[in-house]
Structure 1
Amino acid sequence: MSFPLGNRRRVSATLPFSFLVALSFAVAAIAGGSKSPYCNNPVQLAMVKIWVDGDEGEYLAGLTASFGATLPEEKNKVPKLPAVFSNPLNGCSSSSSKLSGSAALSVRGDCDFVTKAKVAQSGGAQALLVINDKEEIEQIDCSGDVSPNISIPVVMVPKSVRDDLTKTMANKRVELLLYAPTRPIVDISVVFLWAMSVGTVFTASLWQEFGISEQTEKRLNESSSKGMHNIIMTPVTRKCRNCPQKTVRLPVIGEVSVLSLGVFLFCVIFAVAWAVHRRASYSWVGQNILGICMMINVLQLARLPNIKVATVLLCLAFFYDIFWVFISPLIFQQSVMIAVAKGKNTGGEAIPMLLRVPRLIDPWGGYNMIGFGDILFPGLLITFTYRFDRESKKSMGKGYFVWLMVGYGFGLFLTYLGLYLMNGNGQPALLYLVPCTLGVTVVLAAIRGDLKALWGYSSKSSAMINPTAEV
C-alpha cells in the first residue's frame, strides 16, 4: 500500500472483513457484557484519512478498542494529527520521540494494549494507532488494568501501514484524521444496477423486434460482427435498410460497407481505451457498456430449446453459485467468488465479467456489482419464454415473459435485501433468481397445463435463425 497524492477514493482491502468483525464484536459485547465498566465502548469501523505534505491522500480502515475515547461520526469534528512512531516501537515504555499532540504509532506485542494506551497518553499523544502483526485487523481487547483515565481513542490498523508510513515519513510530513462515519443502509447505486440488469434482459428478449433483413444479417454474420459492433449496426442498418451503402474490399475479410468498417474501428478504439484506463475511477462506465453489449449478443446466439434444458442448466448454476460463495470459505479460508470479483490478492485486477457502479452516498466508497452469470442464466430462460409466447400467440397476461420479467426484478430485489440483512456480505444472486424465474415458470405451467409442452418444446424459428447455437 502506498499513499499517492490525490487518490481519495481507494478502499482498503481489509474493509469488508473489518466491517463484519466490527459488527460481530459489537453484538458480542452487548450480549456478553464486559469485566470492566471502562471496557464497554462499541467497536467501531474507523476511517483513517491520510495527508502527505498538506495534500489529502488515500484512507484505510481500522477497528477501535473497547476502551478509551470513541470516535465522532463527522470528520469536521476532529483535528488532523501529525503521525509519530513511538520509540521504542512497541510503545510499552516512555517514548524518546515527542508524542505531544500527535497520533502515536506502535506495533503490536511485548505488552498489553492498555499499557500502550497509557504510555502514549502520558507522552501527550491525542490518539494511538496499534499496527497489527498481520494484514487483517482484530478487536483490541481489554487485557490489563483499564482505568477511567484513558481518554484517547485507540485504533488497530493493518500490518502494511508500518512499511508504507515509514517510507513516506522519511522525507515528508504525514498527518492523520480519525473518525467513524456511518454507512448508509442502502446506496442508490443498487437502483442503477437493478435497472441495468433488468434492462439488459428485457432488451435482449425484444432485440429480434429491432431485427434486420436476412440478407443483411447474413452479411453481418459473415463479417464476424459481434459485441458492441453488432449492437450499433443492427438498429442503424434497420433504419437505413433502403439507403445506398458504399462498400470497400479488404484483404481476407472481403467486401464490407464503409459504415460497418467505421463502426468497427470505433468499437476497437473504445475497447482499447477502456483496457488502457481500466484502473481509472471512471472505467466502470466503459466496462458496463462493453458488458451489456456482450450479454445481449450472447442471449441472441445461445438459445434454450425447452424448459428441460433450462431446468438442468439453472439448477446446476444455482448450486454452483451457492458453493463458491458460502461453502468455499470453509475450504479456502475465503469466498473465492467474492475474492475474484473484487480482485483480491491480484493488486485489484478483477476479472471484468461483471457490472459495477460506484457507491454514491457511502463515505467508504467502493462499488456495488453483479456478475454476468446472474444476468445470463436467468436471461436465457426469459428470452426463451418470450419466443415461446410469440410463437404460441399468447397474450401478455396468459404468457410467461411478463411474469418472468417481474420475477427476475423481484429476485434482484431479494438479492439486495439479503445483502442488507447479511451486513454487506456477498450473496449468491442465483439463490434468489432461480426460484423467482425457473420456479415461476414451472408453477405457472403446471397451473395452466403447459408443463408438458414447455418441457419438450422445439422452437422452429430458433432452428431457422440460428441452427447451431442452441444450448
Structure 2
Amino acid sequence: MQNTILAPNSLSDALTFLQVKVKNWVNGTEGTTVVGLSARFGASLPKDIHEATKTFAVLANPFDCCSNLTSKLASSVALATRGECAFTAKAKNAQAAGAAGLLVINDNEELYKMVCSENDTSIDVTIPVVMIPQSAGKKLREYLDHGANVEVQLYAPNRPVVDLSACFLWIMAVGTIVCASLWTEFVAMEHVDERYNQLTRKDGPNSRTNQREDKEIFEISAKGAIVFIIVASVFLLLLFYFMSSWFVWVLIVLFCIGGIEGMHACLVTVFSRIFKDCGHRTVRLPLLGEVLSLSAGILPFCVVFAVLWAVYRHASFAWIGQDILVRCLPPLFCYSFSHGLETSRGFPVPVSGSWYLLDDNCASDGTLTKHQGIGIFICSSCYEVAHLLIIHVTELPNTVYWQVASALLSAAFVYDIFWVFISPLLFHESVMIAVARGDNSGESIPMLLRIPRFFDPWGGYDMIGFGDIIFPGLLVAFSYR
C-alpha cells in the first residue's frame, strides 16, 4: 500500500482524484447514496447519471482481492477490502476475473488517495476503481453476505463553475445590512410608544432620571476590542474540544429567544407604520401591566414560528425559517438604538462578552455608561456562537468610536483568517468550520444564514455566519447615519 501521492508512471496513472457518487439498490430498494473517491489510475467515470449503468455488486473471493479470484465476476462490480497488497494489484485481479469495476472498502471513514506503486511502470487497468468509507462498505458487505441483490451505479458529476447559491447568499447578507441601516429612517416610526417591542410594565416618569443616577461607568479603548478577540478565540477552542449535543440545544434555545425578539420587533414596527392606529391601542395583561395590543397579538405568532423551526430544523425547508429569524436581528439592533435605549445614533459592539452601544452624543471623557435598559440580543460576533445578554449602552465620542471600531474589525479580520485557513496547520482541520458545522456534536449551530446549493449535483449548503454580517454592518450603518 502507498502512503504518499506519487507522480504518474503511465497514461493510466494520469487521472485526477474525483469524488464519486455511488448510488445503490438493495433488492430493488434505493439506499443512501455513498460518496467515494476515484483512483488516479484506471478508467474514468461518466459525469452524468444518465450515462452511468446499474451493475450488480459481488464480493471478491478472496475478499482482499490480492490473488487470482476463484470465480468469474461476469461484468459485476467487485467489492474488496483494503490491505495486504497494492491497489493496482487488486485492480488487476478484479479486471482479470471480468469485473466491470472495483469498490475498495477503506479501514476508516476517511477517503484515501489511491495511486500506483513506485515500481509499477506498466500497469494496464481499464476498469474504474473507487474507494468508499468503512461504514458504507460494511453495510454493502452485510447485504451481500445475507444473499441480497445489490446494484450500484457509479458516476462523478462536476460542480458548476459558478455557484449561484453563493451569489444569492451574498445578496441576502448585503441586503440584511442595507435593510438594517435604513430601518429607522424608512420603516420605523419616529415616535413610537416604548412598549412597542417588549411586554414589560411601563416605567414611571422619573425612571429615566433614576437610571442615570444608578449608572455604572466602564473604561473602554481599542485594547478592549483586542481582548474581546482573544477571549473569543479561547471560547472557540473550548467549543472545538468540548462541544456536545446538549450545548447545541442551549444555543438553539438562545437563538430561538433572540429570533422571537427580533421578529416581534420587526413585525410590530412594520404594522405600526402601516396601521398607525394600532400603534397606540393598549391592553392590560396580568403581571405585565399595560402593553400594546398589537405587540401582545404578534408575540404568539413569533413564538410558534420559532418553535416550529426548532422542531423541523432538519427538514429540507428549515433553512427558510432559519434565515428569516437571523435576518430579523439586525433591524432590531438599529431600531433599539434609535428608540428603545435613550439614544438617537448608536450601534452596539461586543466587548469582553457584552454588547456595548457606541454613541456620538456622549461624554467627552470616553467612558462607558451601563444603563438598565433590557432587551434580548444574540452575541455571535466573529466566533458565531450565541449568548443571551443584557444590552449595555455605551457613550463614546466619535473619535473613540472609530478607534474601537477599527481595532475590532481589524482584529476580527485576522481572527477569521487564522481560525479558518491557518488553524488546519495546527489542529489538522479548520476550527471555525468544525464548530460551525457541529462536527463534534452532529448538528451545526444555527447562528448563520444558509441556502441550499440548488444547482450543485453534490448538494449541501452555502453558509455565512451572523458575526460576518454584524461586524461590517456596524461600520456601514454608523457611517450612513
Q: TM-score by structure 1 length?
A: 0.70
**Aligned residues: CA RMSD:** 2.5
**Of 77, 90, 105, which aligns to 1:131?**
105
1:86 and 1:367 mapped to 2: Cα distance?
A: 37
Corresponding residue of 1:151: 126
- Retained in 1: the 8 A contact 2:196–2:268? no
Structure 2 residue matching 1:141: 3-state secondary structure: coil
Match of 1:304 in 2: 358
Match of 1:226 among 261, 269, 272: 261
Question: What does residue 344 of structure 1 align with?
Answer: 439
**Greater strand share, 1 or 2?**
2
Hey, what does 2:410 align to over in structure 1? 315
- Opposite residue 316 of structure 2, the aligned amino acid is S
C-alpha contact 1:73 1:180 (8 A) present in aligned 2:
yes
Q: Deviations over 1:85-142 (max 9, x none)?
A: 2233212134456632322111111011111112212222211011122222122111
Matches within 5 A, 1:19-418: 32=7, 34-95=8-69, 99-143=73-117, 145=120, 147=122, 149-169=124-144, 170=146, 172-209=148-185, 210-221=187-198, 223=200, 226-243=261-278, 247-300=282-335, 301=337, 302=348, 303-305=357-359, 306-347=401-442, 349-387=443-481
**Structure 1 residues 222 and 113, CA gap change in structure 2 (3 angstroms):** same
CA contact (8 A) 2:181 2:480 kept: yes
The residue identity in structure 2 corresponding to 1:272 is V
The DSSP-based 3-state class of the residue aligned with 1:217 is: coil
- Within a 5 Å distance, the mapping from 1:426-441 to structure 2 comes to none
CA contact (8 A) 1:304 1:384 kept: no
- In structure 2, C-alpha distance between the alignment counterparts of 1:336 and 1:126, rounded to whole Å: 41
Q: Which amino acid aligns with 2:311?
A: V
Alpha-carbon spacing, 1:239–1:192, altered in 2? closer, same or farther (3 Å): same
Inter-partner Cα distance in structure 1 for 2:140 and 2:164: 35
Amino acid of the residue matched to residue 304 of structure 1? L
Tell me, yes or no, if the aligned pair for 2:159 and 2:456 is still in contact at 8 Å: yes
Q: Distance in 1 between matches of 2:141 and 2:289?
A: 61
What residue ranges of structure 1 are gaps of 5+ in the alignment?
A: 1-24, 388-471
CA gap 1:246/1:296 in 2 versus in 1, 3 angstroms = closer
Residue 243 of structure 1 and its aligned partner are, at CA, apart by 4.3
- CA drift of 1:343 comes to 2.8
Instruction: Please identify, of 243-252 and 65-74, the stretch whose mean Cα deviation from structure 2 is larger.
Output: 243-252
Q: 1:318 to 1:127 in 2, by over 3 A?
A: same
Instruction: Provide the C-alpha distance between the structure 2 equivalents of 1:320 and 1:39, rounded to a whole number of angstroms.
Output: 41
Q: For the residues of structure 1 that align with 2:440 and 2:34, how far apart are their CA atoms?
A: 17
> Does the 8 Å contact 1:299/1:376 carry over to 2?
no
Letter in 1 for 2:177: V
Decide whether aligned partners of structure 1 residues 298 and 167 sit closer, same or farther in structure 2, where only a CA change above 3 A counts: farther
* Deviation, structure 1 residue 68: 1.6
Give the secondary-structure state (helix, strand or coil) at the position aligned to 2:302. Answer: helix
Deviation digits for residues 231-272 of structure 1 (CA, Å, limit 9, x no counterpart): 111010122223486644333222334432221111111111
Is the 8 Å Cα contact of residues 24 and 32 (structure 2) preserved in structure 1?
A: yes
Q: Is the 8 A contact 1:355 1:369 kept in 2?
A: yes
**Would you say the 8 A contact 1:65–1:140 is kept in 2?**
yes
Post-superposition shift, 1:341?
2.3
What amino acid is the match of 1:259? Answer: L
Paired amino acid for 1:93: S
CA distance in 2, matches of 1:174, 1:254: 67
* 2:179 partner amino acid: T
Structure in which a larger fraction of residues adopt helix: 1
Matched residue, 1:20: none
TM-superposition CA deviations, 1:280-303 (whole Å, max 9, x none) = 111111110001012332354424
Residues 154-210 of structure 1: per-residue CA shift (max 9 Å, x gap): 111222222332445547533211111111111211221111111111111111122
Mapped contact 1:299–1:379 kept (Cα < 8 A):
no
Q: Quick one: higher RCO (CA 8 Å, sep 6+), 1 or 2?
A: 2
Task: Report the Cα distance in structure 2 between the residues aligned to 1:252 and 1:211, rounded to whole angstroms.
Answer: 28
CA distance in 2, matches of 1:370, 1:244: 35
How many angstroms apart in 1 are the aligned matches of 2:293 and 2:57?
A: 62
CA contact (8 A) 2:13 2:41 kept: yes
Q: Is the Cα contact below 8 Å between 2:266 and 2:328 reproduced in 1? A: yes
Go from structure 1 to structure 2 and tell me whether the alpha carbon gap of 1:292 and 1:101 turns closer, same or farther (over 3 Å shift). same
Q: CA deviation at 1:37?
A: 4.1
Kindly state the Cα deviation for residue 356 of structure 1 after the two structures are TM-superposed: 0.8
| Larger deviation, residues 67-76 vs 165-174 | 165-174
Separation in structure 1 between the aligned mates of residue 148 and residue 302 of structure 2, nearest angstrom: 45
* Greater mean deviation of Cα atoms: 332-341 or 251-260: 251-260
Counterpart of 2:132 in structure 1: which amino acid?
V
Contact 2:197 2:264 in 1 (8 A): no
Relative to structure 1, is the Cα distance of residues 304 and 96 closer, same or farther in structure 2, using a 3 angstrom cutoff? farther
Q: Secondary structure at the match of 2:197?
A: helix
- List alignment gaps of at least 5 residues for structure 2: 202-259, 338-347, 349-356, 360-400
Partner amino acid for 2:307?
Answer: V
